[in-house]
Amino acid sequence: MTRRTMVKQEPKEVRVFAPATVANVACGYDVLGFAINEPGDEVVVRHSDKPGLRITKITGDDGKLPKTVEGNTAGVAALDLLRHLGMTDRGIEMEIHKKMPFGSGLGSSAASAVAGVYAVNKLIGEPLSKLQLLPFAMTGEASADGAYHADNVGPSLLGGIVFIRSNQELDIAQLPVPKNLYAAVVHPDIEILTKVAREILPKEIPLENATQQIGNLGGLICGLIQEDYGMISRSIHDVIAEPRRQKLIPEFYKAKRSALANGALGFSISGAGPSVFALCEGKDTAKKVAAAVSKVFTDAGLGNQQHVSPINKNGVHVI
């Protein structure tokens, strides 16, 4: 057998879906994230006679995103890939369908970046693997929030629970997902900018807190690997970001108490918020927890959306 570059035949059009993600996962600030089944973003790409990548249509953004390629993360990620491959003269039209809100804490810009780069890679015959697309998706997301990290992009691309040893070295591992692990995610209708949520964090933390967080992160990994729900539950604590960021989310502690009272293994903020999430053993518990948390926000006069999902194991895919 001869060794050759496995470039597949190019399809005429590709439509993909990239899922929302929960980053940080309580004890894994900047190093952990997982994907859920929905919501997510869709991107459609097709060949064009006109050279270069162009964005021809954007829906679901309330007119907030410019149609320039540099104006949104899907375009930036795809362009970065094309540059890497020396293919910027390829004629490609891109449509972006935002199906999740901005600033929700569910990795909206990451999902767009992943969808954009994955769709274009498919359209040009899939020269790179999913894992090889990671740095381009990260560049796309970084164009929106300024930070180069993989805790949303990683799971949206690869699926599952992704652990990032180092964002700088792009050293990541997919953790095993216990079969019966479900996420209950609730997004209250307020917007928190990642920038603000980052600025609220201290530059220094007590060594004791770091040790606690290190213990819990290790505990969560052990719990996931050994399918030990007790260990998972005891590990879902965030002593670094949550105590500060909860101030940005009305009724956070009431929602947390309600989630735990209804059987959640643990509860915290999804990414930079305002979405909150609970991990649960079993779908029924996750439904009950999502409903209870939703009720807390509703009672406080806050509109909200619930999402109950197993951990999404596949990440971005063609639809």
Residues in contact with a copy of itself by CB under 8 A are: 28-32, 163-167, 169, 171, 173, 175, 201-207, 209-219, 221-222, 225-226, 231, 234-235, 240
Give the nearer residue to a copy of itself in terms of CB position, either 72 or 235.
Answer: 235
- Using DSSP's 3-state secondary structure scheme, residue 309 falls into strand
Give the nearer residue to a copy of itself in terms of CB position, either 89 or 169.
Answer: 169
- 194 tagged catalytic: yes
CA proximity to 154, closest of 190, 122, 110: 110
291 marked as binding residue? no
Active-site residue, selected from the candidate residues 95, 141, 242, 281:
141
103 marked as binding residue? yes
Cis ω before 11 (30° cut-off from 0):
no
- 95 tagged catalytic: no
223 marked as binding residue? no
Backbone dihedral angles phi then psi of residue 203, each to the nearest 5 degrees:
-80, -25
Give the nearer residue to a copy of itself in terms of CB position, either 150 or 248.
Answer: 150
Question: Are the C-beta atoms of 38 and 307 separated by less than 8 Å?
Answer: yes
Kindly give the interhelix angle for 73-84 and 130-145, rounded to the nearest 10 degrees.
130
Beta partners for residue 164, in sequence order: 172
Compute the least distance from the CB of residue 229 to a copy of itself, in Å. 14
Residue with tokens 């006069």: 301
60 marked as binding residue? no
> Given CA atoms 116, 122, 125, 126 in this order, what sign does their dihedral have?
positive
Compute the least distance from the CB of residue 180 to a copy of itself, in Å. 20
Binding residues: 101-111
Catalytic residue numbers?
141, 194
Binding residues for ATP: 101-111
